[in-house]
């Protein structure tokens, strides 16, 4: 977590204690130490429907009114499972997948998440189940989760995260790959690829993939987070090219 995320988590806990409520939504995800696409501008706290509060103590807080069962509360925050379910119910698909991927990466069991999602009904339940069934702990961060969310929505593309490519010799590990179409998709981060040595190693690795018959598409953080439609278009074009070249 970065300093901004830590600050929001701390502020959310303080607000929940003052309002005698529960940290919920993306704020709860941050309290659990999970990755999110966007840090919420205000801490989110849920209080019982019947509780009255003064406006002055709720200033700067997103207050939600809902009677949360005690079994869904852990101290002053919604439980891990409840947090994923809540985020999946109300957030866009890519943002929800970031939370769910991170939850699995940091200890939430996939089977228990799927089971909890399958027991969910009401508004947004379909989205909850979709996210739970597609969540994967292999994504390293929100950047990779958002890239995978875009790829999932491309017709004909079936990607897996953190794929080891060996044919038969080991060629490298990639962020996302469609084995059938032999398409590799990489989330290029300057944080991990910003040195001369990393540049040389990446060039050699990508050359090995291309020589072995793979298509390699690389996307920056700005591409994925700010221009997802451009990423979707590029992936769709790669799929179309691959399908045209495959035997009928």
Q: Kindly report, residue by residue over 150-187, the tens digit of the pLDDT.
A: 999 999 999 999 999 988 888 889 999 999 999 999 99
Structure tokens at 121: 């009904």
Provide the pLDDT for residue 141: 93
Provide the pLDDT for residue 248: 66
Same domain, 232 and 114: no
Q: What is the CATH number of the domain that holds 206?
A: 3.40.960.10
Q: Which residue has the higher pLDDT, 119 or 203?
A: 119
Task: Read off the pLDDT band of 194 (50, 70, 90).
Answer: low
Same domain, 122 and 160: no
Task: Read off the pLDDT band of 192 (50, 70, 90).
Answer: low
Q: Kindly report, residue by residue over 8-19, the tens digit of the pLDDT.
A: 999 999 999 999
- For the question of whether the overall pTM of this predicted structure is more than 0.85, the answer is yes
Provide the pLDDT for residue 87: 98
Same domain, 19 and 54: yes
Is it the case that residue 204 has pLDDT exceeding 90? no
Same domain, 129 and 29: yes
Is it the case that residue 220 has pLDDT exceeding 80? yes
Of 101, 134, 167, which residue constitutes the final position of a domain?
Answer: 134
d(CA 65, CA 79): 17
Angle at which helix 110-118 crosses helix 80-90, to 10 degrees, equals 50
- Where b means 16+ CB within 10 Å and e means fewer, 93-126 reads bbbbbbbbbbbbbeebeeeebeebbeebeeebbe
Count of structural domains within the chain: 2
Of 134, 152, 169, which residue constitutes the final position of a domain?
Answer: 134
Provide the pLDDT for residue 245: 86
Provide the pLDDT for residue 167: 80
Provide the pLDDT for residue 62: 92
Provide the pLDDT for residue 189: 75
Is it the case that residue 104 has pLDDT exceeding 90? yes
H helix runs in the chain, sequence order: 3-19, 25-31, 55-58, 80-90, 93-105, 110-118, 125-134, 142-152, 190-193, 196-211, 221-226, 228-245
Same domain, 13 and 126: yes
* Residue span of the structural domain in which 154 resides: 142-245
Same domain, 123 and 157: no
Provide the pLDDT for residue 202: 76
């Amino acid at each position: 977590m970065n300093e901004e995320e830590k600050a929001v988590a701390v502020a959310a806990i303080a607000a929940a204690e003052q309002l005698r409520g529960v940290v919920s939504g993306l704020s709860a995800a941050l309290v659990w130490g999970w990755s999110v696409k966007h840090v919420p501008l205000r801490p989110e706290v849920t209080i019982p429907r019947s509780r009255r509060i003064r406006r002055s103590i709720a200033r700067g807080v997103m207050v939600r009114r809902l009677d949360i069962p005690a079994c869904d509360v852990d101290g002053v925050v919604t439980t891990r499972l409840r947090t994923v379910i809540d985020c999946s119910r109300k957030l866009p698909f890519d943002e929800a997948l970031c939370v769910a991927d991170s939850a699995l990466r940091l200890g939430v069991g996939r089977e228990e998440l799927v089971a909890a999602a399958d027991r969910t009904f009401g508004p947004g339940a379909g989205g909850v189940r979709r996210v739970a069934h597609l969540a994967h702990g292999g994504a390293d961060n929100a950047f990779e989760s958002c890239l995978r969310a875009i790829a999932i929505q491309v017709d004909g593309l079936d990607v897996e995260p953190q794929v080891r490519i060996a044919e038969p010799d080991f060629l490298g590990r990639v962020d996302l790959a469609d084995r059938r179409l032999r398409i590799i998709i990489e989330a290029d981060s300057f944080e991990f690829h910003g040195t001369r040595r990393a540049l040389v190693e990446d060039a050699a690795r990508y050359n090995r993939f291309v020589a072995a018959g793979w298509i390699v598409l690389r996307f920056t953080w700005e591409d994925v987070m700010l221009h997802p439609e451009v990423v979707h278009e590029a992936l769709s074009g790669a799929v179309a090219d691959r399908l045209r070249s495959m035997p009928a």
